[in-house]
Amino acid sequence: MTYCLAIKVNQGLVFCSDSRTNAGPDRVSTYSKLHRFKVGGDRRIFMLSAGNLATTQAVVAEVARDIENSAPNGLADARYVSEIADYVGQVSVRTQQKYVNSGPMGGFNAEATFILGGQIKGHEPELYMIYPEGNHITTSKSYPFLQIGETKYGKPILDRIIRSDTDYETAMRCALVSMDSTMRSNATVAPPIELLYCPADSLDNPSKYFCFEENDDYLVGLRKGWDENIVRAFNDLPGLAL
Amino acid sequence: MTYCLAIKVNQGLVFCSDSRTNAGPDRVSTYSKLHRFKVGGDRRIFMLSAGNLATTQAVVAEVARDIENSAPNGLADARYVSEIADYVGQVSVRTQQKYVNSGPMGGFNAEATFILGGQIKGHEPELYMIYPEGNHITTSKSYPFLQIGETKYGKPILDRIIRSDTDYETAMRCALVSMDSTMRSNATVAPPIELLYCPADSLDNPSKYFCFEENDDYLVGLRKGWDENIVRAFNDLPGLAL
């Protein structure tokens, strides 16, 4: 399983992902699900992936090859991030069709879902969730985050905290808390946790990137603090008159 | 959609359910999903239901008719709550088969899931979750709750608070908070919220029953308090050094 999320606040974009993949409980591996692409200085593009690992690897590899080969209509020459989302959707559908169209694979699930985000000079930062069918949705002012994979356990805290004007440190911390709730309730979502902040309108500045291992001091402190604070938040509630 | 849960603590059993049913967004109704049965003074049995409404209504009706007709092997004469769970599972499977076996209904989903709980004199209180396939699981000391329907949003708080030695008021309050998180993230889970406490080893004492409408003062206060306390719990977390 997988849990990835991305948040669009006024200050920029936040991406967060776990790193566990599993094909059955005895085939557990660690793979990064946060992908960065080497493109020109006028753009910055990131991608998160969930679903069939063979599909996501093939899609990421094709996207990277297209950049190397300067293929037209790819990441390097798109005018809008939404055009890149269209392109990734097409690559994804084509990749899935390779495996599921043939007869003996009936019922095989090669689906993959992506979150694509970034900024092209002269435009706002943008986030898109690309469905297995190749189409995509974006965020809105009142719903400024997107999730893929095991999304439900970590959604309540995002619903409560994240607004468009949330500052980027709060958004990053909230992404980690959302990830922690998910890891606690689903054993197939696990560290290392990757966290990236891409500031808006500053294509020259580097993004801030963190990779938290299971026993990372900050992550352990955050988990412990959240545990204690949640229990206190609950205990402080008005009692039920019985 | 539906969200129901039941908790087994040392002091007794807690049941909680929402009341919204929907067959498409324009066919929304309110039905109780907490069922009580009139049985002898040596037992107390409750049931929560999720899934296809026609199936759950048919199952509940057949169980009630069997009690009226003193049919053998029903709720009235079972020696163990697990026997009742077996019996409800059989009724459920038979009901589903009535509709899905016939040709034109191929693909129609008549599945239903139940939580059955109660106590028979001389035995411990027990809880069972009955799958659509008719089989069932029970709780354990370290996992003393069961959920059906839209279970994920409300699970993290149960994971953090509920233990076997949790007192019953805390368990009831935690059930309401779990329900509130679910209602906030899924619009098809909605009040009235029913909440029932059945004390252990006191078959003569009445159970405590509450039904909270949308604007119930306690429910509104709990929701507001939880909102504020969660935000404070989050804000009190250690900041990320950037």
CATH of the domain at B121: 3.60.20.10
CB-count burial class (<10 Å; 0-12, 13-18, 19+) for B230: buried
For residue B218, count CB atoms less than 10 angstroms from its CB and return exposed for 0-12, middle for 13-18, buried for 19 or more. Answer: middle
> Which residues of chain B have a CB within 8 Å of the CB of A231?
160-161
Bond prior to A192 in cis (omega within 30° of 0)? yes
Does a structural domain hold residue A52?
yes
In-domain check, residue B242: no
The enclosing H or E element of A4 equals strand A3-9
| Chains A, B: CB pairs < 8 Å | 111
Alpha-carbon separation of residue A222 from A153, A179, A215, B6, B153 (angstroms): 17, 11, 11, 30, 21
A241 part of a folded domain: no
Query: Are B156 and A161 a contacting pair at CB < 8 A?
Result: no
Is the pLDDT at B103 greater than 70, yes or no? no
CB–CB of B239 and A185 under 8 A?
A: no
Domain range holding A99? 3-214
Nearest to B162 by CA among B148, B142, B182, B181: B142
The Cβ of residue B210 has, within 10 Å, a number of other Cβ atoms equal to: 19
Q: Which ipTM value was assigned to this complex?
A: 0.90
User: For B161, which of A185, A218, A234 is closest by C-beta distance?
Assistant: A234
The answer to whether residue A237 sits within a structural domain is no
Domain-embedded: residue A240: no
Q: What is the pLDDT of residue A125?
A: 96
CA angle, residues B48, B49, B55, in degrees to nearest 5 = 145
Report the gap between the CA of B71 and the closest CA in chain A (Å): 37
Check A229 against B234: CB less than 8 A apart. yes
pLDDT value of position A98: 87
In A, which residues are within 8 Å of B14 by CB distance? none
| % residues pLDDT > 70 (chain B) | 97
**pLDDT score recorded for residue A106:** 64
Distance between CA atoms of A60 and B38, rounded to whole angstroms? 61
Distance of CA B124 to the CA centre of its chain: 19
> Count of domains in chain A?
1
Model confidence, pTM: 0.91
Q: Who contacts B192 (Cβ-Cβ below 8 Å, separation ≥6)? A: B18, B19, B30, B211, B212, B213, B214
Cβ proximity of A62 and A91 under 8 Å: yes
A230 in a structural domain: no
Nearest CB to A160 within list B218, B225, B230: B230
Q: What is the DSSP pairing of strand A126-130 with strand B126-130?
A: unpaired
Question: In this structure, is residue A229 part of a structural domain?
Answer: no
pLDDT digits (tens, 9 = 90+) for B40-91: 889 999 999 999 999 999 999 999 999 999 888 789 899 999 999 999 999 9
Check residue A221 and give its pLDDT: 96
- Residues contacting residue B29 through CB under 8 Å, at least 6 positions apart: B20, B21, B22
pLDDT over 70 at B105, yes or no: no
- Cite the beta strand spans of chain B per DSSP E: 3-9, 12-17, 20-22, 28-30, 34-36, 43-51, 112-120, 126-130, 136-138, 145-149, 193-199, 208-212
The list of chain A residues with pLDDT below 70 reads 101-107
Asked if B164 and B144 touch (Cβ cutoff 8 Å), the reply is yes
State the pLDDT at residue A101. Answer: 67
Distances (CA, A) of B145 to A92, A179, B93, B117: 41, 23, 24, 11
A156 and B159 within 8 Å at the Cβ level: the answer is no
Lowest mean pLDDT among A217-231, B137-151, B180-194: B180-194
pLDDT for residue B1: 84
- Say if A48 falls within a structural domain: yes
Set of chain B residues whose Cβ sits within 8 Å of the Cβ of A173: 234, 237, 239-240
